[in-house]
Amino acid sequence: MGNIVAFDLGASSGRALLGRLTDGRIEITELHRFSNDPVQVGDRLHWDILRLYHEIKQGLLIAKNQGIEVNSIGIDSWAVDFGFIGKNGELVGNPYHYRDRHTEDIMETLFAQIPASVIFGRTGIQFLQFNTIFQLFALKQANSPWLQADNRFLMIPDLLRYFLTGEMHNEFSNATTTQLFNPVKGDWDAELLRLLDFPASWFGDVLQPGSQAGMLQASVCEELGIPSIPVYAVAEHDTGSAVAAVPATDRSFAYLSCGTWSLMGTEVHKPVINEMAQKLNFTNEGGVEGTYRLLKNIMGLWILQESRRVWEKAGKSYAFPELVQLAGAAQPFKAFIDPDDALFLAPGDMPSRITQYCHQTGQQAPETVGEIVRCILESLALKYRYVFEMTERLSGQRFNGLHMVGGGIQNTLLCQWSANAIGKPVWAGPSEGSAIGNMAVQWIAQGEFQDIWEARQVIRDSFSIITYEPEAQDLWADAYDQFLKLTGMTE
């Protein structure tokens, strides 16, 4: 079958993967991998959006130079972040990084104007200080020159698609994460926009995953020396693409997309917007084929990634497999953290912050590198159980186990400890879930798969899935009780 390319942009790196369907199996080949480094300018933290666009073009050039004729492309990335295109068709400013501090304390200011219950009731989205609604409100409070009425709001994949095609569209799965989209009405929430004094003209039409969103424009084709290629709006929030790639056999399943962030939940056909969902701070994000992802954000491997960066700056370089080995040899259950504590959100010295957290909660802080890594991974696994059980309660379902997808599944210790913590099997794979889900939506749009369930069957047949059975359940049950007590979590 024809060749398609998925551009999968994560918070720390991006990749271009080539996909082929051969004899009912998916074959993927990495064409290009590149770093995605935020840029600090004064007090502001930005994404280097033009560098990302450059790397996408490099991926297309590599395909050309390998003699590969690409039939279509799709782009997925992280959510919530955005830029504006001015009336002259040019990017107004470099998009802010969601970890930038300009949204600190902004939630309370907005809630004084619009109650949280009203916002949740109209959008079904969990409250995180970096959500698009808070970023835009912070820009408005700062009288940002970006916010002209005749500018157009585009999220990260929307921007990159615009650079490639010259067409401006918003995409469903990412639009829902803005906390400005009404999932019941299926469109931007006009009442919220009115209350916030956000011009409706900022926001454009919302394409469903699988819609063709344009063709490579002539200037791009001329620059790269390639023919025009269809560009599809896939599930452009990378979690939406990752969930599309979950190789589930049951229609009722729990998933964990594991990487810089961990996102755990289940797939539902209607958003769950009620008092319990707001209390548990769950979210309803758009998925493929009209589904919604009832899920909760967990800080994920960010804390480990930042710790490794701090050690590297101190002249101590560790590969991730080495860190996992050190953690496996360290004392178990020495200390616990809540990975979602606000202390761990911004970039910085995570080992010192873990020490600070432990002192604040009356624990002996981990000291060695192995102990610190073990503390992070054990705490993540235990937080997974907490959210897993909340997902069951909120959705009214019981899950036989947990599907883990994404780059984090290469950490076999975390996979095993997650099974131990939840007391049920963990099925890990595929690791390139977001890119494969991106491809699946392109193939569905082109008629190669009938629907997402046929795609999931082919994904299951194409990639190895590793099963982790729970071990030492009594020890992990005791550790969970301690974890809840020390972190102060209550349901």
Q: Count CB atoms within 10 A of the CB of residue 115.
A: 11
Question: Cβ distance 336 to 375 under 8 Å?
Answer: yes
Alpha-carbon distance of 65 to 52, in angstroms, equals 20
3-state secondary structure of 280: coil
Judging by beta carbons within 10 Å of its beta carbon (0-12, 13-18, 19+), is residue 204 exposed, middle or buried? middle
Dihedrals φ, ψ of 143, to 5°? 55, 45
Beta bridge partners of 70: 3
Q: Which two tokens stand for residue 52?
A: 């990302």
First to last CA, the chain: 50
Of these residues, 76, 238, 338, 340, which one is catalytic?
A: 238
Q: Which two tokens stand for residue 235?
A: 């599930």
Alpha-carbon distance of 467 to 444, in angstroms, equals 28
DSSP letter, residue 155: E
Alpha-carbon distance of 447 to 461, in angstroms, equals 19
Active site (annotated) includes residue 43: no
Dihedrals φ, ψ of 247, to 5°? -85, 55
Q: Which two tokens stand for residue 79?
A: 């959510």
Q: Count CB atoms within 10 A of the CB of residue 169.
A: 18
For residue 430, cis peptide bond before it (omega within 30 degrees of 0)? yes
Region label for 197, one of left (φ > 0), alpha (ψ between -120 and 50) or beta (otherwise) = left
The radius of gyration of the chain's CA atoms, rounded to the nearest angstrom, is 22
Judging by beta carbons within 10 Å of its beta carbon (0-12, 13-18, 19+), is residue 328 exposed, middle or buried? middle
**CA neighbours closer than 13 Å in the CB half-sphere of residue 453:** 7
- Just list the catalytic residues: 238
